[in-house]
Amino acid sequence: MVAVLVIEDDDRIRLSLTLALEDEGYTVSAAATAEEGLVRQRREPADTVLVDLMLPGIDGFECIRELRRADDVPIVVVSARDDTHDIVAALEAGADDYVVKPIAVKELTARLRALRRRARAATAAGPRTSVVGELEIRPQAGEVLLRGTQLALTRTEFRLLCELAEHAGQVLSRQQLLERVWEYDFGDERLVDVHIGRLRQKVEDDPSSPARLVTVRGLGYKLQR
């Protein structure tokens, strides 16, 4: 059974999400505040966490940061806020995906399944180590080293880098990356842009002037050989 933690302050939405996910076969725990949710996740870690942004006390953005500091659990934002700034800020805080309310349960569960498949693929990756410039990528161990120093990547960042490394020197479009990394036939390409930005913070000497993970204007992204 896959365990999901729902952090949502609206009683009606929290209950409806809990019941809908349980009907889909998930084990669900719920919290009305970020503080309660963080305690629950420390005591009984869920496989995936759903977080609303407009929470009392600690808001959703800080909740995501706290969750991400602790581990690389997949995090999905479920929020009525659909402004580009909010979406980008949530993804930059560490969320893996963003779903706008009102929620279509089938869409949400499809995304949760894709997140789980990506997590399993990251741990069951092939044994071949690849070296791209000063980066050493070890799929079997789930490790990435830059000049011998291990980098702390989330599962999504790791999958993204592995996909780019597998096609080093080739341009991959945002849509191709959505399909191969997120397993979405369609979706918000901002997911790709923000995760590329987060990845650059970790693999580039100067993220403002990337030399390894470059943008090819109008086409997509490329990991330089």
Q: Percentage of residues in the chain with pLDDT exceeding 70?
A: 95
pLDDT (0 to 100) of residue 124: 54
Share of the chain above pLDDT 90, in %: 64
- State the CB neighbour count (10 A cutoff) for residue 3: 14
9-20 burial, b at 16+ Cβ within 10 Å, e below that, comes to beeebbeebbeb
Task: Inform me whether the pLDDT recorded for 122 exceeds 70.
Answer: no
Query: Which of 6 and 91 is assigned the larger pLDDT?
Result: 6
Half-sphere exposure for 78 (CA within 13 Å, toward CB)? 22
Rounded Cα–Cα distance for residues 76 and 196 (Å):
18
Rounded to whole angstroms, the Cα distance separating 151 from 180 reads 22
Amino acid identity, residue 22? Answer: E
Tens digit of each residue's pLDDT (9 = 90 or more) over 79-106: 998 888 898 899 889 999 999 898 888 8
Q: So what's the pLDDT on residue 63? A: 97
* Section 10-22 average pLDDT: 95
For 145, the enclosing helix (H) or strand (E) is strand 143-146
3-state secondary structure of 83: coil
Give pLDDT, residue 82: 84
Kindly report, residue by residue over 187-221, the tens digit of the pLDDT.
678 889 999 999 999 999 999 999 999 999 999 99
Contact 136, 145 (CB under 8 A): yes
